[in-house]
């Protein structure tokens, strides 16, 4: 295997990186190296390495291993908690986070200056006590007590489902929620609308609670077939009174976007956004932002109503945005309401969907 050797000022240590990103360390003079360790107050072989060499080794470790190493000595604590080390780790793992929310969205300053603290507080990969407590609460809501389920009628939650993703990658999602064998929901009935707006379905989540899922569009089905993302002028129009009435009556919102389409349009447009938070001007993103701010307008939508975003992807299309990037581009951190975003594969939606619905139920209970 071809190696690119990196020689450092200590003549007895040679560090090499492989083409696959691994690290290889060779002691070229063992006796001089041992003497060097004695001169360094009998440091361990790892501690005696040059700091930049040690950082190259630590950057290949997982967070739990870094935490273990930091407990061995003061010098290793300093090395294993280096801000640059954790900043690179945070930026690398943010690309694969499946979810982010209003209380875990990392800000630019926090990422650059307090990387380790930000990682431990925000990363969904960390089984923190706070996240475990939320998980236990969610499980309690879903499973419930058999006695309580028999004594009381399951609580209901009214959710407005909207967004341009319902017309593309997730156009069959509502039908799948009702009829697919792997769906976590049970169809209980249909909900009539008014003036062609506000119709939906009642779905049971086990025996724990019931959701009334109301689908909202700004246009009728015939009008949606005639329009596309290029017709951006129509989003400047005000919502109809019937749509405003639905927004005022619901307990929570679910916003559906097409992550595949966002990524594809950004890749073919000039000035495509990067993970630094630059706002892209692709058509689907512009429409998504316009839709979100139309339905979530505080004039007819209570800002205490929580919002869940389903960033939908298709297995046949590997190009998509990360959860953090979608949240940033949709400007979700600017919302005054609590929000959460989950990546939802439309071919295997059960897990993310039930998590977001449970999260909405918990936050609507806090309102009441």
Q: Are 214 and 200 in contact (CB under 8 A)?
A: yes
Supply the pLDDT for residue 168: 82
Query: In this structure, what token pair is assigned to residue 44?
Result: 């361990």
Query: In this structure, what token pair is assigned to residue 209?
Result: 């609670």
350 — alpha (psi -120 to 50), left (phi > 0) or beta? alpha
Degrees (nearest 5) of the Cα angle 217, 222, 223?
Answer: 60
pTM given for the model? 0.76
CA separation for the pair 174, 180 (Å, rounded)? 10
Per-position pLDDT tens, the chain of length 368: 333 333 343 566 666 766 666 667 676 777 776 666 665 555 677 777 888 888 998 998 888 888 888 888 888 899 999 999 999 999 998 988 999 999 899 887 788 888 988 898 888 877 654 455 455 555 554 444 434 444 557 788 999 999 988 888 778 888 888 888 888 888 998 888 766 677 889 999 877 789 999 988 755 555 545 555 455 444 445 688 888 888 999 999 999 999 988 888 876 433 344 444 444 457 888 888 888 888 999 999 999 999 999 999 988 877 889 999 999 999 999 999 999 999 999 888 888 898 899 899 888 876 65
Supply the pLDDT for residue 326: 93
Other residues' Cβ atoms within 10 Å of the Cβ of residue 231:
13
Query: In this structure, what token pair is assigned to residue 233?
Result: 């002028």
Supply the pLDDT for residue 273: 42
For the chain, how are helix, strand and coil distributed in percent, rounded to 5?
45, 20, 40
| Whole-angstrom Cα Rg for the chain | 26
């Amino acid at each position: 295997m071809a190696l690119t050797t990196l020689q450092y000022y200590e003549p007895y240590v040679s560090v090499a990186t492989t083409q696959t990103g691994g690290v290889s360390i060779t002691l070229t003079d063992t006796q001089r190296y041992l003497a060097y360790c004695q001169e360094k107050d009998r440091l361990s072989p790892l501690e005696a390495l040059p700091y930049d060499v040690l950082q190259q080794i630590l950057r290949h470790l997982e967070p739990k291993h870094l935490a273990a190493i930091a407990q061995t000595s003061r010098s290793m604590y300093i090395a294993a908690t280096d801000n640059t080390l954790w900043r690179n780790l945070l930026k690398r793992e943010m690309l694969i986070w499946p979810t982010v929310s209003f209380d875990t969205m990392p800000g630019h300053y926090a990422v650059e200056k307090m990387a380790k603290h930000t990682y431990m507080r925000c990363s969904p990969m960390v089984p923190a006590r706070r996240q475990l407590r939320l998980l236990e609460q969610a499980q309690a809501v879903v499973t419930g007590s058999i006695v309580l389920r028999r004594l009381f009628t399951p609580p209901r939650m009214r959710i407005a489902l909207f967004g341009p993703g319902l017309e593309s990658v997730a156009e069959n999602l509502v039908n799948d929620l009702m009829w697919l064998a792997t769906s976590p929901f049970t169809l209980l009935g249909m909900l009539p609308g008014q003036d062609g707006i506000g119709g939906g379905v009642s779905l049971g989540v086990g025996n724990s609670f019931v959701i009334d899922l109301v689908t909202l569009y700004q246009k009728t089905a015939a009008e949606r077939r005639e329009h596309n993302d290029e017709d951006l002028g129509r989003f400047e129009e005000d919502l109809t009174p019937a749509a405003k009435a639905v927004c005022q009556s619901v307990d929570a919102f679910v916003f559906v976007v097409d992550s595949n389409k966002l990524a594809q349009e950004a890749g073919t447009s000039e000035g495509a956004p990067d993970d630094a938070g630059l706002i892209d001007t692709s058509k689907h993103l512009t429409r998504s932002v316009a839709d979100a701010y139309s339905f979530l307008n505080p004039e007819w939508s209570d800002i205490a109503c929580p919002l869940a975003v389903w960033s939908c992807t298709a297995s046949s299309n590997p190009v998509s945005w990360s959860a953090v990037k979608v949240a940033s581009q949709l400007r979700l951190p600017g919302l005054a309401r609590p929000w959460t975003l989950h990546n939802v594969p439309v071919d295997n939606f059960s897990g993310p969907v039930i998590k977001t619905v449970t999260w909405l139920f918990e936050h609507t209970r806090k309102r009441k």
